Structure 1
C-alpha cells in the first residue's frame, strides 16, 4: 500500500473533527480530500502517459490527461 501526504491544514482539520468532534470543519475536510483525490488521479494519468507500452495507449492517456487538465484542443501539440 502506498502512502499519501496531506497538508498540515487538512491534517489539523481531520484531528479537530475526529478527536475534538468539531463538525464545522467538515466542508474544509471535504474540499481538501477532493483536491487530494484530483491530484492523485492527475498523477496517475500522467504516469500512464509516460509509461504506456504502445504509442496508441500513450496518446490515449495524454489526451485524457489534457482533457482533465482543461487544456483546449487549439493549445495542444
Structure 2
C-alpha cells in the first residue's frame, strides 16, 4: 500500500484517476488506502457496465467480428491472402 501511495504522490495519471489535482496533498496512508480501494471498486463497476452493454449489443447482432478497425485503419479479421 505504501508503494501505491508513493506512486499516487508522483504519478499524474494516478492522481487524476483518484481525483487529486497537481498541488493537492495525498492523505496519510490509511485514508489513502480507503480512497484507492473505493476508486478501484468504481472502476470495476464501469467495466461491468461496459461488458454488459457489449454483451447486449452482441446478442442483438448489433456488433460483428467480421471486420475489425484498429486506429481507424480497416483490417480484415482472420485474413487469408488466397481467399477473397
Q: Which has the higher contact order (CA 8 A, sep 6+)?
A: 1
Instruction: Name the larger-Rg structure.
Output: 2
Higher strand proportion: 2
TM-score scaled by structure 1? Answer: 0.40
TM-score scaled by structure 2? Answer: 0.37
